[in-house]
Amino acid sequence: MSIDQDVLKLPHDQIEQIQLDGIKKTAVRVYENVPFYKNSFDEARFNPYEINSLDDLSKAPFITKQDLRDNYPYKLFAVPMEDVLEIHMSSGTTGIATVGGYTKHDLDIWGECFGRGVTYADGGPKDIVHVCYGYGLFTGGLGAHYGGLCSGATTIPMSAGNTERQIRVLKEMGSTIICCTPSYAMHIADTAIEMGLDPAKDFHLRAGIHGAEPFSDNFRADLEKKLNYKVLDVYGLTECMGPGVAIECMEQTGLHLAEDHFYAEIIDPATGKNLPDGEWGELVLTSVDREAQPVIRYRTKDITRIIPGECACGRTHRRIDRLHGRTDDMMIIRGVNVFPSQIEDVMETFDDVSSWYQIELSTKNSLDVVTLKAEVNPGFDLDSVASIENLQNSIQAKLKTALAVGIKVKLVEPKSIPRSTGKAKRVIDLRKENEK
């Protein structure tokens, strides 16, 4: 399947008509084929046969990750199993895994959506796409792989791990676009430097398509400096498809939604009411034309906003802002809402600490305590009590100013925080253990 560049520049009223036509069919199809949706729509008194505008969709009930878990594994499929060609699953680390099923049509859409991201990076048949997301049930590896193929690029299915081999391939095989988590890209860069290489010169990268975890603007700038390339954010989730729901272009001013395949709303996470463009809230997604497992008003728990206006690149599909975090990642400290990305923004302003950190949540005297474990860079004198206290106090003061809440800082040795080939584990919650 090739990438239709014309659809990316359609007048927005035409995009909205595509969305309305697709959603009308999808809502009726799930109502008639998926018992969960029939019961949910009937209970909410929502009539899928009476959708006449996109605004009518706001009358439909939400679906949540718990609903997907409750219907594990195949109860939300809207097609017979013989039409399902591929299955992916979430990790299930916070409960029962969620399942994603794909027909041939769905796989084509997925490849096209991620493939658009390759073209957003000015990539195509002359490029070599190096995929080091994990292959398997996780959607990252195959989503990027299908996208590379759809764009016409040569695609290297490296998968995750074996970092020194990754570096050798990047150096010797001329990879121009890399796809992996941002934390793993940083690990590749740091490891290459430790090996005596200069990845900015020894690699051939022009762009990286990085997702699966939030990262700050400062983290992006550090990556771009080390690897001498352009970092593009990609968004996706197993429940709706996988990576490719939205991807940044080279303007880096927000992620273009694949609006011919997904309809986005931003809601107030507390009230469920729709918010206007420009306001921050929870992203809700509806499938326009997915066959195997469409979702109607799926609450992603991801915090973002619709960016008003059109992108300077000329593409007309609306953009979402880079994620502030998730409603379930949000920490409430002394009544203040704090996201890990806000802490990362502060950390990245200090030259003596690296991009690696962990946030440890514990309790003391029935109060939540937050400790930021910050890894220092090689060369920092951890034997000097004065140096340690000065840096810790400086970081704590800046966090207090930025977040209006106190966070304890503990400096740790270089390389002491575990690296991962997948998502970095940024938050360690010890509060239940403290209660024992």
Q: In order of start, what are the domains of the chain with their CATH numbers?
A: 1-326 (3.40.50.12780), 331-435 (3.30.300.30)
User: Cα(332)–Cα(400) distance, rounded to whole angstroms?
Assistant: 14
Tell me what pLDDT residue 367 has. Answer: 63
Burial 276-302 (b: 16+ CB within 10 A, else e): eeeeebbbbbbbbbbbbbbbbbbbbbb
User: Cα(370)–Cα(384) distance, rounded to whole angstroms?
Assistant: 24
Tell me what pLDDT residue 434 has. Answer: 59
Identify the H or E element spanning 187.
Answer: helix 182-194
User: What are the backbone dihedrals phi and psi of residue 395, each rounded to the nearest 5 degrees, phi first?
Assistant: -65, -45
Identify the H or E element spanning 55.
Answer: none
User: Cα(324)–Cα(283) distance, rounded to whole angstroms?
Assistant: 11
User: Cα(280)–Cα(67) distance, rounded to whole angstroms?
Assistant: 25
In angstroms, how far is CA 107 from the centroid of its own chain?
Answer: 19
Rg of the chain over CA atoms, in angstroms?
22
The tokens describing 334, both together, are: 């002394």
Tell me what pLDDT residue 412 has. Answer: 93
In angstroms, the first-to-last Cα distance of the chain is: 56
Q: Is the pTM of this model over 0.85?
A: no
SS3 362: strand
> Does the CA dihedral 200-203-206-207 come out positive or negative?
negative
Tell me what pLDDT residue 332 has. Answer: 64
Percentage of the chain exceeding pLDDT 70: 95
Tell me what pLDDT residue 116 has. Answer: 98
Percentage of the chain exceeding pLDDT 90: 75
Q: Is the pLDDT of residue 197 over 80?
A: yes
**C-alpha dihedral, 286 to 288 to 291 to 294, nearest 10°:** 10
The tokens describing 202, both together, are: 């020894």
Q: What is the tens place of the pLDDT at every residue in 389-430?
A: 999 999 999 988 888 778 899 999 998 998 877 777 788 888
Among 176, 149, 145, 143, smallest CA distance to 158 is for: 145
User: Cα(283)–Cα(75) distance, rounded to whole angstroms?
Assistant: 24
Please identify which residue in the block is written with the tokens 């520049």. 9
Identify the H or E element spanning 401.
Answer: helix 385-403
Q: What angle do CA 144, 145, 148 make, to 5 degrees?
A: 85
User: What are the backbone dihedrals phi and psi of residue 248, each rounded to the nearest 5 degrees, phi first?
Assistant: -70, 150
Strand (E) positions, 220-270?
A: 230-236, 243-248, 255-257, 262-267
Q: How confident is the model at residue 325 (pLDDT cuts 50, 70, 90)?
A: confident
User: Cα(330)–Cα(326) distance, rounded to whole angstroms?
Assistant: 6
Tell me what pLDDT residue 405 has. Answer: 76
Mean pLDDT of 329-358: 79
The tokens describing 247, both together, are: 């991807």
Q: How confident is the model at residue 365 (pLDDT cuts 50, 70, 90)?
A: low
